[in-house]
Amino acid sequence: MTQDVVYIVIFLIVLALLAPLTGRYMAAVFRGRRNLLSPVALPLERLIYRLCRIDEKEETTWKAYVFDFLCFSGISLVGLILLQVVQGRLPLNPQGFGQVRWDTAINTAISFMTNTNWQAYGGEVTMTYLTQMLGLTVQNFVSAAAGIAVALPLIRAFTSKLKGTVGNFWVDMTRAVVYVLLPLSLILSVALLSQGVVQSFGAYAHVQTLEGDKQVIPLGPAASQVAIKQLGSNGGGFFNGNSAHPFENPTPLSNFIEMLSIMLIPMALCFTFGAMIDNRRQGAAIFWAMMILFLLGLCVCLAAEWQENPALARLGVTGGNMEGKEVRFGVGPSVLWGQATTVTSNGSVNSMHDSMMPLTGLVYMFNIAVGEVVFGGVGVGLIGMLMYAVLTLFLAGLMIGRTPEFLGKKLESREMIMAVIVVIAPAIASLCFAALAVATKTGLASLNNAGPHGLSEILYAYFSAAGNNGSAFAGLNSNTPFYNLTTGFVMLVGRFLTIVPALAIAGSLSAKKSVPPSSATFPTASALFVGMLVAVVIIVGALTFFPALVLGPVLEHLLLSTGRVF
């Protein structure tokens, strides 16, 4: 336990040192200012503009920004589906894989286009090297870059004065790739290679085990994909075991580095926000609201996993809950990874969440269900927390009888409606389809566990889809037409009904004049605001998901204490 605490403290200290520096660097990048990488990256950026005929100085309205974002997403979706259908006829296929089944291809294309990276398939037995690289790895870059890009109009809206424009999607996305994701991925790839992560184009190795059996060892260009899957809040593993697989995450050091990369950009965007609005205290307030929620959840999970499983304790097995965890990592790093991956919409795992204690599963599901606003995915996590900030200020405005305002911008009915859509649309979609799965034979046929744990598996799947997370309890066979199509639809809702309303708010705020602060202005860079924001996230999440969670992980926790398992 002491070793786990030391590990976690060191991790948080290193992360707290890196995040502000990265955040201020990204602020310079997206403001178009000269930065550390300008001598190398600026020629590449300008070359992309010339080839794609992008006018760097052109700014668009929020509607045009949405149109560009949707067009890019649609092209990505169609391209991914086609690549999977024809992969059997393309090169870099030493294993001779054929085309991907139609429903799996659709689900995978939606998954990677929406930055969810939910995988209903086993990567090493389904996808060719070319599909992994040209399709999935490329989408890991551009879907993450799109997520960062769509947060920028909302940030700019608070400093814009009657402009009505929010930026240029193509410029924002290009800078996110060239200046942020690509250089960090190169550094991380080299670091992972040094730890033994596989990077190979050779055919799978056939070996003979000590017992005399034959075994196939999958290989492939994994290090390059693992790097961007972590940095971009993607999470889709090259191998089916994801980051629990020793070829993706072989050592405690690689585990530490990958966890840092999971949380670095989402956390740094809080400081990017503060720098771009010239109010670092406001960025720090958003950061501390997220960090408090993160630490609260982490403490609950650690308390649950450090104790022995009551069912096993009856058989004389004591100690922490090591079921489903890798011995090379242990309880603390496994729980920390689970907390990090569910608050950031990353979705990669280094242990099996299906084997966690019920209260740990409860926290993981809550993290995802509330929209993964605790740092969240790259860009969209900040969007989600800002929507909760709008709701918080609306409640504060009701208390003092004054029209709410945020950073000098009045928040009126249009902004409130859009913010509510962002908060409740993914929740409605996930709960409705989870109910459909529970109520139909088709949905129940994929379950491997009965009772409340089976319900938790279904809930987790749809929460993960709606939150664009991609992780799973793994006790559910989701590679069926029913689950592929329904989770695919929920992923679309979770992506586009979060981003489009937020861009609508950005357009509305950018056209408004700034209101000077007065004695009645609610201070949003204060401890009071941070406390209210944390409370609103918890209360809204509890009111929305309490009945479902009571029937799932809460009931399982109570029954487990009596020794009953499912």
The dihedral through the CA atoms of 25, 26, 27, 29 has a sign that is positive
- Transcribe 62-84 into DSSP letters: HHHHHHHHHHHHHHHHHHHHHHH
Query: Is 108 a residue whose pLDDT tops 90?
Result: yes
Centre a 10 Å sphere on the Cβ of residue 266 and count the other Cβ atoms it contains: 28
Question: What pLDDT, in 10s, does the model give residues 179-237?
Answer: 999 999 999 999 999 999 999 888 888 888 888 888 888 888 888 889 999 999 888 77
Longest dimension (CA), the chain: 80
Phi first, then psi: what are they for 409, rounded to 5°? -115, 130
Nearest to 499 by CA among 380, 371, 413, 367: 380
Q: Are 294 and 339 in contact (CB under 8 A)?
A: yes
Chain centroid to Cα 315, Å, comes to: 38
Question: What pLDDT, in 10s, does the model give residues 414-467?
Answer: 999 999 999 999 999 999 999 999 999 999 998 988 899 999 999 999 999 999
- Residue 321 — pLDDT band, cuts 50, 70, 90? confident
Strand partners, 447: 476
Q: Are 266 and 374 in contact (CB under 8 A)?
A: no
- Residues of the chain with pLDDT > 90, as a percent, come to 70
Tokens of 43: 């020629």
Encode burial over 447-466: b for 16+ CB neighbours within 10 A, e otherwise.
Answer: bebebbbbbbbbbbbbbbbb
The pLDDT mean for the chain works out to 91
Distance set, CA 224 to CA 237, 351, 377, 560 (Å): 11, 21, 20, 41
Q: What local confidence, expressed as pLDDT, does residue 104 receive? A: 94
Encode burial over 223-252: b for 16+ CB neighbours within 10 A, e otherwise.
Answer: bbbbbbbbbbbbbbbbbbbbbbbbbbbbbe
Query: Is 562 a residue whose pLDDT tops 90?
Result: no
Question: What pLDDT, in 10s, does the model give residues 240-282?
Answer: 888 999 999 999 999 999 999 999 999 999 999 999 999 999 9
Nearest to 131 by CA among 118, 116, 112, 103: 112
Query: Is 123 a residue whose pLDDT tops 80?
Result: no
Supply the Cα-derived Rg of the chain in whole angstroms. 23
Measured at the alpha carbon of residue 420, what is the angle toward residues 417 and 423, in degrees to the nearest 5? 155
Integer Cα distance of 549 and 355 in angstroms: 17
Integer Cα distance of 466 and 368 in angstroms: 8
Distance set, CA 273 to CA 153, 204, 281, 300 (Å): 11, 46, 10, 29
Q: Are 262 and 279 in contact (CB under 8 A)?
A: no
> Token pair 């487990």 is at which residue?
560
Q: Are 513 and 164 in contact (CB under 8 A)?
A: no
Contacts of residue 20, defined as CB under 8 A and 6 or more positions apart, other chains included, come to 268, 271
Distance set, CA 344 to CA 102, 218, 374 (Å): 30, 29, 7
Q: Are 112 and 139 in contact (CB under 8 A)?
A: yes
Parallel, antiparallel or unpaired: strands 205-208 and 405-406: unpaired
What is the 3-state composition of the chain as percent helix, strand, coil, each rounded to the nearest 5?
A: 65, 5, 30
Q: Are 354 and 473 in contact (CB under 8 A)?
A: yes
Nearest to 495 by CA among 473, 513, 468: 468
Q: Are 338 and 349 in contact (CB under 8 A)?
A: yes
Nearest to 481 by CA among 138, 215, 90, 106: 106
